[in-house]
Amino acid sequence: MYKCSIILAAGEGKRMKSETPKVLHKVCGKEMVNHVIDIMRKSGLEDVNVIIGKGADKVKASTESRNVSFSVQNEQLGTGHAVKCAADFLKGKQGTVAIFTGDAPLIKIETVEKLLKFHEDEGFKATLLTSVVDDAAAYGRVIRNEQGQVEKIVEFKDCSKEEAEVKEINAGMYCFDIESLLKSLEKLNNNNAQGEFYLTDVIEILKNENKPIGAMPTEFEETLGVNSRVELAQADKILRKRINKKHMENGVTIIDPENTYIGSEVEIGNDTIIYPGNVLEGKTFIGKNCILYPNSRIQDSVLEDNINVQSSVVLESRIGENTTVGPFAYIRPESVIGKSARIGDFVEIKKSTIGDNTKVSHLTYIGDAEVGSKCNFGCGTVVVNYDGKKKYKTIIGNNSFIGCNTNLVSPVEVEDNTFIAAGSTITDKVPEGSLAIARARQVNIKGWVEKNK
């Protein structure tokens, strides 16, 4: 049967008190609405329509790359009104539409698949996902009749005292028969406490027409809707726990999972050990047998096998196997570090290539440079890549020994098998096989101290 999906993402999220639309707040490094889109796709729902309104441009810009279509809700008149704004998307389609809210990112793929199957196998016209909780808070209540069939959903603000005590809540995740939904949307009114057109009222409308309605309970953890920063932190914690568990099951040692922050897209090889305080973000890939000592931030980077990193920042870069990084190194975007290299303490590498077996052990800046293999940088080397207006490139060949406290004034080239004396300021090419000394010769004045007492 044909299936598609609608994601509600037009609301403002007043309770977030934010300039950013609610659905763009991130959980484990990914926008909530993008979590929901990805889950829909992985559940076999290819055709995804996102309803945008408040902050539409921002939501569109953040979701566009995921190949979704959009419907616009110009005024936020409620969840039912929002779905009505997607009528053009639904028109002429026959089958099932799964409707999910963009502020509930914890739903599991297998639950969405189960919901779709239950809906279609049983021939329901509407099927809702529910969960049973001790504190139903502000969620809509699922009201069942004596036979246990779903009669309606009542929003918390519209609940009678008895209804408020019901512990089964509406997750805001549904499957509908498209034609039945479109007809019911026409019948919605806004005679309720919030003066909104509620999607939830579609259930009662269908029930009154004797259409079969299903309800499938699941864990509350999966249905958590994020309306405030407190709930955002709760969602983050739940997802983080799941992500870390998955990596541990794959053979990664995480010393303290509660204090290890791994984004949902990160991949990690087995036998890698991760100490607390590490933050792995974006599309990061960590190989096997790495040790991430405490407190690094690694974003959108590839680390090959057997790499050690300690208390460092690595952004949009690639590091070859058996290399060690840190403590306190800063590897900035577009850097490529070779194999068995060393990037030591207080070293900054920016948009540079560093060859295999090259050691940059301490207090050095390398920017806009191409460095060969088996080089050794003495303490305090500076690549002077910027003249205040433009950036220039430095090229260093293989097997070069750069003495301590050297300045390499770009653009400049240092050829293979060279040696630069400590304290040199290099402004001209150093030809292959040479020693370069670029500093004033030392003068010793005998008896000077005695004379000047």
Contact pattern for Ca ion over residues 88 through 127, marking x by CB under 5 A: ---------------x------------------------
Q: How far is the C-alpha of 51 from the C-alpha of 78, rounded, in Å?
A: 12
In angstroms, give the least distance from the CB of 264 to ligand UD1: 19
Contact between 11 and ligand UD1 (CB under 6 A)?
A: yes
Partner interacting with residue 170 (select from ligand UD1, Ca ion, none; CB below 5-8 Å by kind): ligand UD1
Contact pattern for ligand UD1 over residues 169 through 198, marking x by CB under 6 A: xxxx-------------------------x
Please state, in angstroms and as integers, the Cα–Cα distance from residue 196 to each residue in 75, 102, 203, 317, 326, following that order.
11, 18, 16, 49, 56
Contact between 227 and ligand UD1 (CB under 6 A)?
A: yes
Give me the amino acid identity at 282: G
Q: How far is the C-alpha of 117 from the C-alpha of 70, rounded, in Å?
A: 26
Q: How far is the C-alpha of 105 from the C-alpha of 339, rounded, in Å?
A: 39
H-helix segments, 64-148: 79-84, 87-90, 109-121
Q: What are phi and psi of 438, to 5 degrees?
A: -135, 75
| Residue number with CB closer to Ca ion (227 or 299) | 227
Q: What is the DSSP letter of 430?
A: B
Q: Which of 13, 225, 326, 338 binds Ca ion (CB under 5 A)?
A: 225
Contact between 25 and ligand UD1 (CB under 6 A)?
A: no
Whole-angstrom Cα Rg for the chain: 30
In angstroms, give the least distance from the CB of 102 to Ca ion: 9
Q: Of the listed pieces 69-77, 110-118, 208-216, 274-282, which binds ligand UD1 according to CB under 6 A? A: 69-77
Contact between 367 and ligand UD1 (CB under 6 A)?
A: no
Element (H, E) at 451: helix 448-451
Q: Which of 18, 20, 76, 234 binds ligand UD1 (CB under 6 A)?
A: 76
Q: How far is the C-alpha of 15 from the C-alpha of 12, rounded, in Å?
A: 9
362 is catalytic: yes
Please state, in angstroms and as integers, the Cα–Cα distance from residue 115 to each residue in 45, 176, 207, 334, 342, following that order.
12, 11, 19, 44, 52
In angstroms, give the least distance from the CB of 225 to Ca ion: 4
Residue 275 tokens read as 């100490």
Q: Name the site residues for ligand UD1 (rule: CB under 6 A).
A: 8-11, 23, 51, 53, 73, 76-79, 81-82, 101-104, 139-140, 153, 155, 169-172, 198-200, 225, 227
